[in-house]
Amino acid sequence: MMKPTDTKNPNYYHKVVDCQWACPAHTPVPEYIRLIAQRKYTEAYMINWESNVFPGVLGRTCDRPCEPACRRVRVDEEPVAICRLKRAAADNKSDVSGLLPEIPNQKNGKKIAMIGGGPASLTVARDLMPLGYDCTVYEKDPQAGGLMRTNIPSFRLPVGVIDEEVDRILDFGVVKKFNQEVKSLKVILDEDYDAIFIGTGAPKGKDLNVPGRHEASNNIHVGIDWLTSVAFKHIDKIGQRVVVIGGGNTAMDCCRTSLRLGGKDVKVTVRSPKSDMKASDWEIEEAELEGIPIFDNHSPKEFIHENGKLKGVLFEKMKAEYNDGKRTLTATGETVLFECDDVLLAIGQENAFPWIERDIGIEFNQWEQPIVDKTTFQSTQPRVFFGGDAAWGPENIIWAVAHGHQAAISIDNFCQNKDLKDRPSPLTNLVSQKMGIHEWSYPNDISNDDRFAVPHADIETSLTDLNLEVELGYDEKLAFDEAQRCLNCDIQTVFTENLCIECDACVDICPIDCINFTHNDTEENLRKKLTVPALNLTQDILVSDTLKTGRVMVKDEDMCLHCGLCAERCPTGAWDMQKFTYIESHAKKSTISEYVE
Amino acid sequence: MTFIKKPIFRHPSLPTNAIGLTYRDYEGVVSTLCAGCGHDSITASIIDACFELSLPAHKIAKLSGIGCSSKTPNYFLNNAHGFNSVHGRMPSVATGANLANRDLTYIGVSGDGDTASIGLGQYCHAIRRQLNLTYIVENNGTYGLTKGQFSATNDKNSKNKRGMDNPFGSIDLAVIAIELGAGFVARSFSGDKEQLVPLIKAALEYDGFALIDVISPCVTFNNHGYSTKSYDYIREHRSVFGDLDFVPEEETINTSYAEGETISLKLHNGREINFKKLGDDHDPTNQHKVINTLRENRAEGKVTTGLLYIDPNKSDLHQTLKTSNTPLNALPMDDLCPGNDFIDNINNLFR
């Protein structure tokens, strides 16, 4: 027998909001999408800013874990374009300077050092500055931003967008120690910082040690270093024939940048089958749209050179075999030579800490990775915290932001002598959206449209200008139309047992057949005996207490459209549509609630 | 009332029937009846029954009179033929349609006012003639559209919403139907689809007049504590007169009952109905016993539901009148109207 679902546990309704649940920073997605539809771009932007700090950047570059999670994928096909809607909020917002947190003139006397000026460190600074901390950022490059600035080419992310969102935090009064590469953590520890946050990312591109690598090194470049040099304008051209080795997003950025710096014949080669490539689908799509061929199952064997002048790369063709989901790549013996002038290596990157002394209390594991607590982000040296790619290897910007928020909470607790395990609970709320018998304060008449494509700049012009942004972003009309595709999964179907007269009205009207009245059983049996069996075990079922006839109400959350028809057809108000607000707690008191309608 | 259209999205694993349709292909427009109306559950049951029988909607005609109940054909089978007729006159329109095209399946939806008051005469004669029609009465004991006056099926001990007594006794449509010789008489409750859907399926397959009197609570005017047609009252006072299991022709009978006796009845079209008796007195083919049981139960305050009476051997109107096997509307003009010479020949026989 299943017990009635405990909807008081904030995780129950939070999980129903698939996008927010999947987002590492738990951004309240449906809320800001509704605000975009109301042309309240500034409010939508601020909700994002509070939660993920870099909405303009993320609206162009986020890895979007929210989109594959979107319920629309399950009932329709394509997810709501959450990421690009975020950009629409950033593009159309008004001046937000008046809405930013106040930075106290009277500091609290605690000094924090952040090593590395990327998204993780900046998030820590964003959360701690309003609390009166004195924050110092060390950055080896002349400008802050980290990989957002150095590794993402400007045709995907214009410099102006990075400047705006990075400077907003620096302008809180962060002490900038730029062009200063920290060579020894011991030196920093010996200064008077109360806590140190390490957000140095994963800046070490992997090399490829095959014959000829050393001899032809003049024309073989490590992708992320090369992209950084392009970003800081130290490199502005490349040979006509370029081979990019690697299948991740960096490879996609390398090949597309090559095209804009004089590359005419640019190829991407991957060791694995194309379907196993690490790059996001949309990045692969964009590269192919620009005419770049991808050769999969090609494993580099040798760099061919004549007296140190690179002539090409010899590849061996591979064959992939799958056994019980495990892939094995075997060499076929067949080789192929791609002639080229330059090679870009984009076969992965890692974090490395040659600058951290091994005798200052920070323990490293067998893979030379620091031991970091998964909840507190504290290392074995209590004053030192890690976050972003520096903590556990390469992830995405949104993860760095989420780490930064958590590390800031820990640093605040640490400096105030509080228990680090004592994490602030999220702010949650549940409010009826009923405006009349069949009127709701959210748009329940959902759009049947397919996902709207984002307009692109003319491809010919794009390829001649490194700084011309390829994606133009949604205009207001497209943003509105796309926003209407959102199912408003944060508007919860709340069931009150003692009001139900078991008239079946909700069962009859539900377009997706997720409501059932049946006799209680084990979860496994209940799931099987529903009108449409609830076979997606990643989604919960909502089970009521026993009703008058001895049955229970069972609702499968999986496909629910949140259209509110069950509540409209309910004669007694046993069903109600209530907005569930979930706001992740930060060190800085969140002001999202000011923007939530 | 609901203003928005029902979303077109449906569950991707929704089952399909023998003709490849989901139950949603049998839907109509969104109901404009009060939220929680029993009639909407009956609508859903009709949809389920037609879906499960894999009936093609274009071979169905749905007819109704006037009233809340008679609005409902708009809410199911969007692709069926439909006729929303005059108050109480649905049986006449159905008779005409049925005589013209015997190939369609006829579903008549009526209410307690439409049937037991203004249309009582029409009701009686449709039964008397054994019109091949599934006649569903959505019986809530009240005139909902005119704000809740007592209808002729409202029980004498049932007060109205404001506590006023009902001065008159009620008409039992099922007893009348059995008395007048209907071959298929059932009563059910809108709140019990497990009972109602098989009954509708059996009625649709029955050749002849099939009545299903469905108690359907009016949430707005007749669902209060002293009503005898409320959800709570029916659930408390219902006595089930045998379980029904409808076995379509193409399936073998594989239902086995743990206790009680089962009667299998073969219909004209070869399909079979399994009826599980719940007691010795319950024989759905014995007209007198059934009427007695209904009266006794009623005296005890019980509402008897289930398949009450069935005679699988009744002739329907077409058999009685020996009409053409080809529907009249499909007969060629030459057969329908043989011409002046032919008529003259007949007339000459009498000169």
* pLDDT tens readout for residues A365-423: 998 899 999 999 999 999 999 999 999 988 999 999 999 999 999 999 999 999 999 99
Closest-CA residue of B relative to A448 is B8
pLDDT band (50, 70, 90) for residue B106: very high
Asked, for residue B5, whether it belongs to a domain, the answer is no
Instruction: Indicate the residue of A448, A570, A572 with minimum beta-carbon distance to B8.
Output: A448
Determine whether the interchain pair A503/B191 forms a contact, defined as Cβ–Cβ distance below 8 Å: yes
Contacts of A504 in chain B (CB under 8 A): 40-41, 44, 190-191, 193
CA distance A516 to chain B (A): 12
pLDDT band (50, 70, 90) for residue B266: confident
Determine whether the interchain pair A548/B11 forms a contact, defined as Cβ–Cβ distance below 8 Å: no
Tracing tokens 């159905």 back to the chain, one arrives at B94
For chain B, what percent of residues have pLDDT higher than 90?
71
Handedness of CA A533, A539, A542, A543 (dihedral sign): positive
pLDDT band (50, 70, 90) for residue B257: very low
Give residue A325's pLDDT: 80
Asked, for residue B141, whether it belongs to a domain, the answer is yes
Distance of alpha carbon A576 from alpha carbon A437, whole angstroms: 11
Contacts of A532 in chain B (CB under 8 A): 11, 13-15
Instruction: Indicate the residue of A504, A512, A532 with minimum beta-carbon distance to B9.
Output: A512
The number of folded domains in chain B is 1
Closest-CA residue of A relative to B11 is A512
Interface of B with A in 195-234 (CB under 8 A): 217, 219, 223, 231-232
Asked, for residue A510, whether it belongs to a domain, the answer is no
> What residue ranges of chain A have pLDDT lower than 70?
590, 597
- What is the helix (H) or strand (E) element at residue B243, kind and residue range? strand B243-247
Determine whether the interchain pair A502/B14 forms a contact, defined as Cβ–Cβ distance below 8 Å: no
CA distance A501 to chain B (A): 7
pLDDT band (50, 70, 90) for residue B274: low
Does A175 lie at the interface with B, CB-CB under 8 angstroms? no
CA distance A448 to chain B (A): 8
Distance of alpha carbon A103 from alpha carbon A174, whole angstroms: 11
Determine whether the interchain pair A505/B223 forms a contact, defined as Cβ–Cβ distance below 8 Å: no
CA distance A554 to chain B (A): 16
Rounded to 5 degrees, what are φ and ψ at A364?
-120, 150
Give residue A206's pLDDT: 92
Instruction: Indicate the residue of A444, A505, A548 with minimum beta-carbon distance to B40.
Output: A505
Give residue B277's pLDDT: 57
Instruction: Indicate the residue of A511, A532, A570 with minimum beta-carbon distance to B13.
Output: A532
Instruction: Indicate the residue of A75, A513, A549 with minimum beta-carbon distance to B235.
Output: A549
Residue from B2, B90, B107 nearest B53 by CA: B107
A172 HSE (CA, 13 A, CB side): 28
Closest-CA residue of A relative to B47 is A508
Handedness of CA A582, A440, A80, B13 (dihedral sign): positive
Q: What is the CATH number of the domain that holds A295?
A: 3.50.50.60
Q: What letters, b where the CB count within 10 A reaches 16 and e where it falls short, cover B170-192?
A: bbbbbbbbbebebbbbbbbbbbb
Strands A491-495 and A427-432, by their bridges, are unpaired
Determine whether the interchain pair B11/A559 forms a contact, defined as Cβ–Cβ distance below 8 Å: yes
Asked, for residue A308, whether it belongs to a domain, the answer is yes
For chain B, what percent of residues have pLDDT higher than 70?
89
Residue from B79, B73, B81 nearest B98 by CA: B81
Does B194 lie at the interface with A, CB-CB under 8 angstroms? no
Closest-CA residue of B relative to A438 is B2
Determine whether the interchain pair B5/A448 forms a contact, defined as Cβ–Cβ distance below 8 Å: no
Determine whether the interchain pair B12/A548 forms a contact, defined as Cβ–Cβ distance below 8 Å: no
Instruction: Indicate the residue of B7, B12, B31 with minimum beta-carbon distance to A511.
Output: B7
CA distances from B129 to A226, B121, B267 (A): 92, 12, 19
Give residue B279's pLDDT: 58
Q: Which domain holds residue A234?
A: 205-347
Give residue B74's pLDDT: 96
Tens of pLDDT, residues B167-195: 999 999 999 999 999 999 999 999 989 88
Determine whether the interchain pair B9/A511 forms a contact, defined as Cβ–Cβ distance below 8 Å: yes
pLDDT at B94 over 80: yes
Torsion of CA A273, A275, A277, A280, to 10 degrees: 160
pLDDT band (50, 70, 90) for residue B271: low
Q: What is the CATH number of the domain that holds B304?
A: 3.40.50.970
Interface of B with A in 104-143 (CB under 8 A): none
Q: Which domain holds residue B163?
A: 23-329
Give residue B26's pLDDT: 97
Tens of pLDDT, residues A560-576: 999 999 999 999 999 99
Residue pairs between chains A and B whose CB atoms are closer than 8 Å? 100
Asked, for residue B62, whether it belongs to a domain, the answer is yes
CA distance A274 to chain B (A): 29
Does B240 lie at the interface with A, CB-CB under 8 angstroms? no
pLDDT band (50, 70, 90) for residue B245: low
Closest-CA residue of B relative to A569 is B35
Distance of alpha carbon A493 from alpha carbon A15, whole angstroms: 13
Report the SS3 class of residue A267. Answer: strand
Determine whether the interchain pair A508/B13 forms a contact, defined as Cβ–Cβ distance below 8 Å: no
Contacts of A71 in chain B (CB under 8 A): none
Give residue B248's pLDDT: 55
Determine whether the interchain pair A549/B6 forms a contact, defined as Cβ–Cβ distance below 8 Å: no
Report the SS3 class of residue B194. Answer: helix
Determine whether the interchain pair A448/B3 forms a contact, defined as Cβ–Cβ distance below 8 Å: no
Q: Are B108 and B64 in contact (CB under 8 A)?
A: yes
Does A502 lie at the interface with B, CB-CB under 8 angstroms? yes
The number of folded domains in chain A is 1
Tracing tokens 């349609």 back to the chain, one arrives at B97
Closest-CA residue of B relative to A566 is B35
Tens of pLDDT, residues A511-567: 999 999 999 999 999 999 999 999 999 999 999 999 999 999 999 999 999 999 999
Does A511 lie at the interface with B, CB-CB under 8 angstroms? yes
CA distance A73 to chain B (A): 11
pLDDT band (50, 70, 90) for residue B269: low
Residue from B190, B211, B192, B164 nearest B314 by CA: B211
Does B350 lie at the interface with A, CB-CB under 8 angstroms? no
Q: Are B245 and B199 in contact (CB under 8 A)?
A: no
Interface of B with A in 11-40 (CB under 8 A): 11-15, 24, 30-31, 34-38, 40
Task: Kindly give the residue spans of alpha helices, DSSP state H, lying in chain B.
Answer: 38-52, 68-71, 90-100, 112-116, 120-128, 173-179, 193-205, 231-237, 287-299, 317-321, 333-336, 340-349
- For B320, other C-beta atoms within 10 Å of its C-beta total 11
pLDDT band (50, 70, 90) for residue B336: confident
Determine whether the interchain pair B193/A504 forms a contact, defined as Cβ–Cβ distance below 8 Å: yes
